[in-house]
Each structure stands twice: as C-alpha cells, then as structure tokens.
Amino acid sequence: MPGGTVERSHAARPDNPDNAAYAVDVEKADGSHVVVLPLPVAADAEALVQSAERTGLQLKTEQAGFVQSYLLVPDAALSTPLPRESTEGRVLQSLLVIETSSEGAARAARATAAAAFDADPASGWLLTLGWKLTAAELA
C-alpha cells in the first residue's frame, strides 16, 4: 500500500451498527467517485491483501478513469462493540475502496472488483464526492 497518513475512522448507524476501526495508509488522490465494496470474510489475510493488490493493478491497467484503490482491514483490537451491540454473530468485514474520475468508471470498477472477490456488486456503495479535504486543510 502507498505511503501517507494514518487515519482511524468509526462508522455507526443506529439501525445497523458497524463500529469497526480501520487503519488507512493512502496517498492523496483526486477521485470524484468512490466505490466501497464490502468483501467476503477471508481466512487468510495475506491472500486478501494480494488479491486487493492484483485487482488494483488490473483496474489501473485496464480501467479508464481509475484513480486508486486501497484495502481497509478492520482492527479487531480497536473495533469494540457499541454499548447496545450484541457481539454474537458479529462479523468485521474488510472493505475495498476504489476512487475513479466518473460514475461510469466507478460502476465498471465495482463490477470488476466484485467479480475478483466473488462479492455481490449490489453490496458496493457508489459515492460522489463534492469536495475532498486534506489533513493540512483541516489543521
């Protein structure tokens, strides 16, 4: 994964709590459209990383409008349950994030990545970024 800053994010919705913490190591990019694809749980973390690298390389060489991709792997130690969250059956999923320059490129990248990971493309979120702030702009 490229060098850059490390950030931790927590996402939680009252109707579907996901209190997974992810360590992110990425370079600044300028993709205006983002795919967030939940990946099937993998027993072999190293194989998951290698698959993400292969998929990113494939998208880079074959997909017009591809900007960058990165794998978010939950940190189990930081991903403590919410106060009302049951830990029974709790699954911490890895996420593949893909940045593209257009909606069409995002849809195509989502389909390619879903096929590579045997994931449901409909489970991948398509997001449009209105703006993107850097850490320096937030300081």
Per-residue confidence in pLDDT tens, the chain, 139 aa: 333 333 333 343 334 445 455 555 445 556 789 999 999 988 888 899 999 999 999 999 999 999 999 999 888 777 777 778 777 877 888 999 999 999 999 999 999 999 999 999 999 999 988 766 667 777 6
Question: Is residue 116 within 8 Å of residue 96, measured between CB atoms?
Answer: no
Q: What is the CATH number of domain 5-82+90-138?
A: 3.30.70
What span, in angstroms and rounded, lies between the C-alpha atoms of 73 and 24?
9
Determine the straight-line distance between the first and last CA of the chain, rounded to whole angstroms.
25
Nearest to 109 by CA among 39, 45, 62: 62
The pTM (predicted TM-score) of the whole model is: 0.72
Give the up-direction half-sphere exposure of residue 19: CA atoms within 13 A in the CB hemisphere. 15
Residue/partner pairs of 80-84 with CB below 8 Å, 24 or more apart: 80/19, 81/17, 81/19, 82/12, 82/17, 82/19, 84/17
